[in-house]
A and B are shown apart, each in its own frame.
Chain A
Amino acid sequence: MELQAIREIVDTHRHRPGAMLPILHEIQHVCGYIPDESVAIVADGLNVSRAEVYGVITFYTDFRTEPPGRSIIQVCRGEACQAKGGCELEQHAQQSLGIEFHQTTTDNAVTLEPVFCLGNCACSPSVRVGDDVYGRVDAELFDELVAEAKAASGARS
């Protein structure tokens, strides 16, 4: 099922110039991550080596090779956020979730990631949950966002 979807994605985009990133983005969009099996399919479709595909996947922070938790929460580490308490927020995020950056909570609800700038610097510190950005985030608001994310993803699953 998944393999078929990946093949279709590769077929749809393979003739576009520089198709690699659009293909990987779409695989991740559909599968939630980039399964190992896709490497050979993408390599074949684009007529490049598997090493090349693997090299691209591992170069970019966005591409993940393991399924993430139901919600992905990014905490901005940029200087503008640091100037407004971003470091404390980073610590709170890791402590309250009981995980470090790049890890997923044991209930698989939240994957926590650092991010270098969300372009929301004027209302720092900033956090992104899925595609939504939140500004002026303190520990209390962070906890609310986590609770909301858990409730929303719980409702979905």
Chain B
Amino acid sequence: METVYETQRDEQGHPIQVATGKRMQFTLTYPVHTSALTDALKAALPGKVIGVNAGGVNRPVEVLLALTATDDDEPAITATVMAHDPVFIVPAKDQVLANGVDMVIVGINAPKPGAAPVTLQMAWKPGVQPAWNVAQDWAIPLTDGAGFDHMTANDRGTVAMRVKNGTNRSNEVLKIACL
């Protein structure tokens, strides 16, 4: 864990180094789901995580921390990053005709070697919030971390989908409009 400094000016205008936070870097061979990893880190270390900075496999993953983070937090941070098992949901389109024929191909990318199986939850969204309590499971078979399936619709409305048990994997909710 290293401290991050920013140069500021004192009252006399002289440059001074001010600590603005801390940082840990990890080199991973797969891209991270930045927001899911951030949520997992914030849950593990409440009040100590500023965010995550990432640039694909070509850049280290940076965990930005508050000054209150200490070396004692490193094991929890490392464990959370190492447990991160990202899942990216990639629908081919965000609309489908509600005629039972038109289809949307939904792709899944789980790039971590040995990624856990992926099951999506699909919820019909008649109101403001998707009805996750009656959501339908949709297992997507993976081959080398990639898989896809398709969906059709018979009724108009919105289908929302997310990764089941998505903590530290994916926190996104994708919506398909059925027209």
A binds B: no
Residues of B within 8 A of A (CB): none
Residues of A within 8 A of B (CB): none
